Amino acid sequence: MNIKKFSARNIPEAIRMVKNEMGPEAVILKTRTIHGPEAKGADEGLKIEVTAAMDYDVADPGNGKDNAVELGRIIRKWQSLETEMRDLKQSLVLSDAARLLKPELYFNQEVRTRYLNFRNFGLRPEIITELMDTIPPEKTGNVSGTKLLQDSLAKVMSRVQVENNALADPQARVYSFIGPTGVGKTTTLAKLAAVTALQQGKKAALVTIDTFRIAAVAQLETYARIMGLPMTVANNNKELRNAIRKYEDHDCVLIDTAGRSPQKDQDIVELNAFFNIPEPIRHFLVLSATTRYDNLIQIEKRFSRLPVRSCIFTKLDETRDISAMLNFLLCCRRPVAYLTTGQQVPEDIEMASKKKLAALLLNSMKQTR
């Protein structure tokens, strides 16, 4: 008798392997599910191992019937296994909860529900742990799932910092827009210039120090002409000082900058030197909502060499998942001032608010679940 083991991702695949190698007369001796390291490389960490045998001596007429019975048993087992696999993900989530939560909290159903809400929001484990540590272990009675979701959302939003009316800072009238390439700094500046000058009636002026790209200067000149605002190009620190002095009777001066690589220290050093002027400058760090969390952290770390006070998130219309942005705001505790949702000037920008962020988070959770 020839006995051999076959490993596959599922029962049907294993049976095909048996038939292809040993023929239709092969007998299934045993099946088992492999978990953990043995199943390395398999989907969801799960594999099926089938032990089959082929008797080369005498064919037993009853073997065909026995094989059919065995095959039926295996199919039924596979169907039940599919149900187990659906439950496996939930079990893994709860095992994470058991690892992260205090024992007295884990066995509280309401607390576990809050944990699952935080996880569905896309929060990082360390942030979930911090949030869960603030929840008292006492039971609070029967609370609906909707109420628990609202409470979980409120707890997250309570840790997010928002800056309102950032362009109305009484301590500054000069504002710069800094950040990596491709995040929409120029368009964002134009939107805020339109809001400030055309909607609020303030006297605004534009300055660009982005002389690396001819198109960038032309783009800002076009915006300035359409809005009827003065604009100056500054090639160095001295010219920037002169430009700001020229617009000393203006309510605000908005400065556009070239995109800087967070990978290059020299870029940030040069930018900092450019802004070495007597008058205080408010720096907006412009970031894209499509950027990965770890990259957002790296960008913030590099640009924090400048006195960045708040950030602006762009391109919210280009992603369904805002978990990277949310984790960034919770981790860095840096206020968010504005959100942009498209290319239209000035329509596609709004002041950040916890209500808006909460709505985005709920929508993100529905879209990515």
Give the separation between CA 232 and CA 198, rounded to whole angstroms: 19
- What is the reported pLDDT for 82? 62
What string of pLDDT tens digits covers the 369 residues of the chain?
Answer: 678 888 888 777 888 888 888 887 777 777 777 765 555 544 445 577 888 887 654 444 445 556 666 666 666 666 666 665 555 444 444 445 444 444 444 445 666 676 777 777 777 887 777 776 666 555 455 555 567 677 777 778 888 899 988 888 778 899 999 999 889 999 999 999 999 998 888 999 999 998 777 677 888 899 999 999 999 999 999 999 999 999 999 999 999 998 877 777 788 888 888 898 888 899 999 999 999 999 999 999 989 888 898 999 999 999 888 889 988 998 888 999 999 998 888 889 999 998 888 888 877 766 655
- What is the reported pLDDT for 26? 76
Beta carbons within 8 Å of 255's beta carbon, 6+ residues apart:
174, 175, 176, 177, 206, 207, 208, 209, 240, 281
Place of tokens 């992260």: 100
Joined together, the tokens standing for residue 272 give 């900092």
Which H or E run contains 201? none
Q: For 166-368, which CATH class?
A: alpha beta
- What is the reported pLDDT for 39? 52
- What is the reported pLDDT for 65? 56
Give the separation between CA 23 and CA 53, rounded to whole angstroms: 10
- What is the reported pLDDT for 100? 47
- What is the reported pLDDT for 333? 85
Pick from 161, 89, 93, 97: which is nearest to 135 by CA? 97
Give the separation between CA 232 and CA 209, rounded to whole angstroms: 9
Buried b (16+ CB within 10 A) or exposed e, 94-109: eeebeebbeeebbebe
β-pairing, 252-256 vs 174-178, is parallel
Joined together, the tokens standing for residue 332 give 């860095």
- What distances in angstroms separate CA 196 from CA 53, 105, 148, 202, one per listed residue? 80, 50, 40, 6
Q: Where in the chain is the domain with CATH 3.40.50.300?
A: 166-368
Phi, then psi, of 352 in degrees rounded to 5:
-70, 145
Q: Are 67 and 30 in contact (CB under 8 A)?
A: no
- 311 beta partners: 285, 336
Joined together, the tokens standing for residue 189 give 């500046």
Range 64-69, long-range pairs (CB < 8 A, 24+ positions): 64/25, 66/27, 67/24, 67/25, 67/26, 67/27, 67/28
- What is the reported pLDDT for 191? 94
- What distances in angstroms separate CA 145 from CA 80, 95, 103, 137, one per listed residue? 29, 21, 22, 18
Place of tokens 């500046």: 189
Beta carbons within 8 Å of 25's beta carbon, 6+ residues apart:
54, 55, 59, 63, 64, 67
- What is the reported pLDDT for 314? 95
